[in-house]
Structure 1
């Protein structure tokens, strides 16, 4: 598990980029926490810098969109999913479980 941030430091509707083996974006939306690979599969852009709407994030570069729940792209130009990761909150700290990677599936 890698530490993302304190839960209090990630308000609803915001995201944080976590650097590790691969960059991971953690999103707080609709009362849930989601973690996905931070790099868009279409072109090298940080999804944590994208636009968050509900359970979807839009890439800031070419407007590809991904479902945070399963990593699947929802529109072109992205065709490949991003990986998702379980998120755990312990004692007010957000952790990402990088040992339990989930490949995007519908």
Structure 2
């Protein structure tokens, strides 16, 4: 899920822009690429008029999307992490994330998880 990363502290973030901003508690891994995908770490008091919600509820309301990124870990195995992206930044998020750093590792691919139902 997008809300737990081992060894990383969860802190409040403002996700989105304009009237579509929400306050979410997310892992502190968005420092190098967060502004480009619409996720900004909250410093100080929360902005007035920005509601606090959960990741699941924000996804259901269409304010954010989950995106998966893969990178080569320290033991040369491919690892996958799930991040959140603001809804208005979803169209350019894949291109923005590829080549960025996630926990000191270079992101190789980024994709939106989809599921299909057979039968």
Q: TM-score, normalised by structure 2?
A: 0.29
The structure whose Rg is larger is 2
Greater helix percent: which structure?
2
